Amino acid sequence: MTDVTSPGCEVTPLVADPLTVQAAVELAAMFKALSDPVRLRLLSLVASHAGGEACVCDISAGFEVSQPTISHHLKVLREAGLLSSQRRGSWVYYRIEPAALAQLSRLLDIPVPASTVNR
């Protein structure tokens, strides 16, 4: 997968300009990774951890899946560019990738007309 922070992949809100093919492919991979409830919770756990970084040992409790499955989900998030990781001794620490989240935020920065709220 291409680096999500590459200069050729500038993302603007959907209502401003259409996505390029490259941006659509990269963003689709991020959304696909986030479409799983376990991965979405894992990303939330890492993001809400002090400093936006968490050891896999700190975030794997509370899931009804095995440790290898948690590791697989974290790998998917990492490959989608949403997380980075660093091994420290026997543990792997995961950190949010702010540039990837900023891309998603810019893409979804769509004004919602007041008439469509509370339908």
* Residues 58-109: tens digit of each pLDDT: 888 889 999 899 999 999 999 999 999 999 999 899 999 999 888 888 887 7
CA pair distance 26, 72, nearest whole angstrom: 20
Query: Which distant-in-sequence residues (6+ apart) come within 8 Å of 25 by Cβ?
Result: 2
Q: What global pTM score does this model have?
A: 0.77
Q: Is the pLDDT of residue 39 over 90?
A: yes
CATH number at 7-108: 1.10.10.10
CA pair distance 19, 16, nearest whole angstrom: 9
pLDDT band for position 119 (cuts 50, 70, 90): low
Domain positions in the chain = 7-108
CA pair distance 5, 102, nearest whole angstrom: 10
CA pair distance 98, 75, nearest whole angstrom: 17
Tell me what pLDDT residue 1 has: 38
CA pair distance 46, 42, nearest whole angstrom: 6
